[in-house]
Structure 1
Amino acid sequence: MAVRKPRKAPERAPRKLTDDHIEALREFADSDVADRRNLGSEAERSEGVEYPDSIVKGLFVFVGANRTVWRFRRRRREKGVRTTIFRTLGEWPMMNTEDARKAAEIAVGNVHSGEAAPNKRSSIRFEIAFAAYLEYLKSKAEKRGKPPRWYYNVKKLGDGIILPKFAKWTLAEMAMSPGAVSSWHAEVTKKNGPVSANHCARVIRATYKRASRLDVSLPQRLPTSAVEFNEETAKQNALPFKSFPARLKAWRKIDNAIRQAYHLTGLLVGPRPGELARLRWEAYADNERTLVIAKAKAGKDIVIPVSDEIVAALKMAREAAEAWGYSVTPDALMFPGCAQAGHRDDLPARGNMLRHTYSTVAADLGIDELIRHFLMGHAPEGISQKYIATLILANGPKMREEQNRMSRRMVELLGLSARTFKAEIDAGLVQSAKAAKGRAEDATKALARAQRASVRSRRERARTR
């Protein structure tokens, strides 16, 4: 039995649209729906009808069952490929006919000038742009000779929070939907916390900015333009002065002198944990009594004067490295195996908290703010980068004097004197040597047990043959 195909609705000729005409179309929308059910195509039966305007070519008013929307559609050929530009301009009656024509004329101008935003099919998806941004972060870290820690952090945020929501969205869609991004940011704030939500929004913004440098057709409005970022307060926790003896007690329990030297140097110098873990022996000049932190956070090398206490901590690291069989050549790490020591060792203060402790002790001693900035490798606000090296040279003797004061004060807060400080270092080396010997004996016994088990296994297999 032949199936009767629905007749195609006749194409509506363009006419000069007016607000009165559109109001009449709305009143007769129910009749139009009935006509579409009998005559229209499947799309018309389910969605509605478009009425073209004769004044601005490409402007349509879409009359649906529930709402009336202004649309703009124009075909163009770009590099031999025909594409269609489609835009939703606004909803009637909030946008009247005159405003709709103005918006359509702007869209026409963008098409002719080549500035029209890409449509959904041609626009790049966020997951592709995000992958390109990750590669950029990785190559940037490798170029600077640093581990790609921010690359791993961004990848973790993307896999766990961002991509499940926006992987299939195009960049153009995200830019044209700032409200959706803002609502998502609010949801992430409730679920993952304010800091993670802000990080995710910044990653989306950075990904979009980098993609827009390669594709100028993307909208200038950022996807995060409607996001209200949460307030963040950086932690400035420092080790209380009364807790220094407790830290010394916990430090004594570490059975590895390399890690002991790492934590002691961090307390006496106040560097960033990652910068300290990446230090190599070529950075230390014994004759000049200086320590160079290469490629610091600001991208510059930092030259720091060292005190007798800092020299003792560095010698502790060298002796322990030699005892454990590590290389101590100029290109070898000062503190091998300490990249994650701050997370493994149970100390009252470690990592970046030691940096805040250093700053607190300096302020308590009344050290000049400019000298304190230089000792910590900061670039003081309001001073051009090219003058900082000159200022450091001019203040060199003063920096060394204040560094010596800082080290003496740190040792004093630990409850030690110059003599007992040296005794603590010697005791740490002896304890580390004993622990290393014990580990070697345990390894030898484990190897012997494994060899005996292997012999028994071979004998058993030989008997069964």
Structure 2
Amino acid sequence: MTDIRIALSDKAIAQLPTPEDGWYLARDTELKGFFVVVGRRKRTFTVQGDLRQRGKRASSIRVSIGDARELTTRAARAIAKEYLAQISKGQHPKAKNGNSEQRETDRNSAVGAPTLVQAWQRYLEAHLIRKGRSEKTISGYRDHVERLFSEWLDTPLLYLANDPARVAEKHDQLSKENGPYMANGSMRTLRAIYNHARQTNRSLPRDNPADAVDWNQEERRNTGMGTGDLKGWFLELVNLENPIRREFHLLALLCGSRPTALQQARPEHINFRRRTLHIPKPKGGSKRAFDIPLSRQMILCLIRVLRFGRQMQPSQAQKWLFPAESASGHLAETKEDREVLSKWGNDLRQTFRTIATAAGVSEFDAKLLMNHSIPGVNAGYVTRHKLVEDHLRSQQQAISTVVFSALGDSLKEHKALINWLGPGASRRTFTQVRLEPNSLGERQERIQQAA
């Protein structure tokens, strides 16, 4: 969401919309430099002003005042006025030992030490963008730096390096307010930015300030399904009202792909002749682009969603495989109410890996199908696209066969499943849409004729 300007009050802040992703600023129309940082879990009173030295602007800093759930707007505005007054005099409101932080800032600026925001900008341009990292990855880093570390943006990295206790305290604070995983993630971001900055600034200490953190324990969630769970999941899925979302979750299960990669798939990425779906920019960027081999069930899924897209979202369907009424034009949010659909997203990726084992697919082949990195020196000699044509497609088919075999007699007894996936419906769809067309226009024309 974009930043807004309102007259800040307790009622107005409570009514501010929660962003779907990231954060935005709600600036006060009464007091310049006073605003609320509105995130998904927290709303923080903050001030921003220019530190001045000898009448000239030295730097701009942001200083957090407190959680909007714990402070009234009136109290926060009073504190903001005090902070802004100190900033205008060249004093950092939260300086330790008088004005030591400001003296440290001045000293570091004199020797050219980068501030956090300067180091972040270089890391963004020279590392993330240049290496083709996805927008979602960049958004995550940006959220850590510009929201969670907003009060440090104009703080030199040398200051943080010389005060690792401050970094450890910040991690403790984030663990309580934002959760252990978010706290760990933000510190990994800080560590990466510092290491990158040190490559061109040898004045920075070798010890990374993030090394002072007592990391929170993280455990991989084990939420995948086994073959015995699939029948119940299909009965949940068939009841989804939106058929495009239904086909999205089914394809996610059958291919084990990350949801973000499928969300941005386009009709022209489908090659029906080679029976592949191209993923041009998965996690890791364009250098990790790969083709997903398609089983028979996956082909039918894609044919159905192309037809549903044309009927429900004709404009967006020209560009996106999974069109939707969203700012991007494609499915942007694929979460479901757990009471409606118990498994989605990464749950289905874990399920794919579990079912692959049940289907007798080797760990090496399963990793190739999921586009995982293959460890070991010999992995560099594997030509993946050569395997797609025959071997990996047969492995993909084995997984899809196990998935649909788990339905048992449901495809003969459950009316909704029969209408969606039954032999009659599949045969009609399959025979009316040929798989040979070479161009997108020819393919869409034949789909239109079949519809």
What's the offset of the Cα at 1:417? 6.9
Match of residue 124 from structure 1: 114
SS of residue paired to 1:266? helix
For residues 400-415 of structure 1, the aligned pairs below 5 Å read 400-415=393-408
User: What per-residue deviation string (whole Å, max 9, x for no partner) do you get for residues 290-323 of structure 1?
Assistant: 2222232243222232111111100001111111
For residues 61-210 of structure 1, the aligned pairs below 5 Å read 119-122=107-110, 123-130=113-120, 132-133=122-123, 139-140=129-130, 143=132, 146=134, 148-164=135-151, 166-210=152-196
Q: Distance in 2 between matches of 1:395 and 1:253?
A: 34
The farther-off stretch of 269-278 and 125-134 is 125-134
Q: Distance in 2 between matches of 1:356 and 1:211?
A: 36
Match of residue 334 from structure 2: 342
Say if 2:161 and 2:207, in contact at 8 Å, map to a contact too.
yes
What's the offset of the Cα at 1:231? 2.7
Q: Distance in 2 between matches of 1:119 and 1:375?
A: 54
Match of residue 311 from structure 2: 323
SS of residue paired to 1:292? strand
Match of residue 423 from structure 1: 419
User: What per-residue deviation string (whole Å, max 9, x for no partner) do you get for residues 369-412 of structure 1?
Assistant: 222122222232114554221x6525753322222221121112
SS of residue paired to 1:414? coil
Is 2:285 aligned against 1:292?
no
Give the structure with the higher percent helix: 1
Match of residue 309 from structure 1: 297
Q: Distance in 1 between matches of 2:323 and 2:409?
A: 27
What's the offset of the Cα at 1:277? 0.9
Q: Distance in 2 between matches of 1:375 and 1:246?
A: 25
User: What per-residue deviation string (whole Å, max 9, x for no partner) do you get for residues 256-305 of structure 1?
Assistant: 22222111111111111011111112221111212222232243222232
Of 382, 386, 401 in structure 2, the residue corresponding to residue 388 of structure 1 is 382
Indicate how the Cα distance of structure 1 residues 182 and 293 shifts in structure 2: closer, same or farther if over 3 A, else same.
same
For residues 18-57 of structure 1, the aligned pairs below 5 Å read none
Q: Distance in 2 between matches of 1:383 and 1:233?
A: 28
Say if 1:137 and 1:150, in contact at 8 Å, map to a contact too.
no
SS of residue paired to 1:303? strand
TM-score scaled by structure 2? 0.60
Indicate how the Cα distance of structure 1 residues 398 and 150 shifts in structure 2: closer, same or farther if over 3 A, else same.
closer
Of 369, 392, 395 in structure 2, the residue corresponding to residue 399 of structure 1 is 392
Indicate how the Cα distance of structure 1 residues 254 and 383 shifts in structure 2: closer, same or farther if over 3 A, else same.
farther
For structure 2, list consecutive stretches of 5 or more residues without a partner in the other structure: 1-104, 325-329, 427-451
Match of residue 245 from structure 1: 231
The farther-off stretch of 244-253 and 269-278 is 244-253
Counterpart residue type for residue 195 of structure 2: K
Q: Distance in 2 between matches of 1:325 and 1:229?
A: 46
Indicate how the Cα distance of structure 1 residues 412 and 182 shifts in structure 2: closer, same or farther if over 3 A, else same.
same
Say if 1:252 and 1:428, in contact at 8 Å, map to a contact too.
no
Say if 2:418 and 2:425, in contact at 8 Å, map to a contact too.
no
Q: Distance in 2 between matches of 1:132 and 1:343?
A: 34
Match of residue 354 from structure 1: 348
For structure 1, list consecutive stretches of 5 or more residues without a partner in the other structure: 1-116, 430-465
Match of residue 372 from structure 1: 366
Give me the CA root mean square deviation.
Answer: 3.3
Of 244, 247, 250 in structure 2, the residue corresponding to residue 261 of structure 1 is 247
Say if 2:293 and 2:393, in contact at 8 Å, map to a contact too.
yes
Counterpart residue type for residue 336 of structure 1: P
What's the offset of the Cα at 1:173? 1.1
Indicate how the Cα distance of structure 1 residues 428 and 249 shifts in structure 2: closer, same or farther if over 3 A, else same.
farther
SS of residue paired to 2:212? coil
Indicate how the Cα distance of structure 1 residues 282 and 308 shifts in structure 2: closer, same or farther if over 3 A, else same.
same
Q: Distance in 2 between matches of 1:395 and 1:258?
A: 27
TM-score scaled by structure 1? 0.58
Q: Distance in 2 between matches of 1:163 and 1:289?
A: 48
Say if 1:374 and 1:392, in contact at 8 Å, map to a contact too.
no
Q: Distance in 1 between matches of 2:117 and 2:365?
A: 47
* Bigger CA radius of gyration: 1
Corresponding pairs, count = 307
Q: Distance in 1 between matches of 2:272 and 2:386?
A: 18
Q: Distance in 1 between matches of 2:221 and 2:160?
A: 33
The farther-off stretch of 341-350 and 415-424 is 415-424
Of 204, 211, 222 in structure 2, the residue corresponding to residue 218 of structure 1 is 204
Say if 1:185 and 1:201, in contact at 8 Å, map to a contact too.
yes
Indicate how the Cα distance of structure 1 residues 301 and 275 shifts in structure 2: closer, same or farther if over 3 A, else same.
same
Say if 1:127 and 1:167, in contact at 8 Å, map to a contact too.
yes
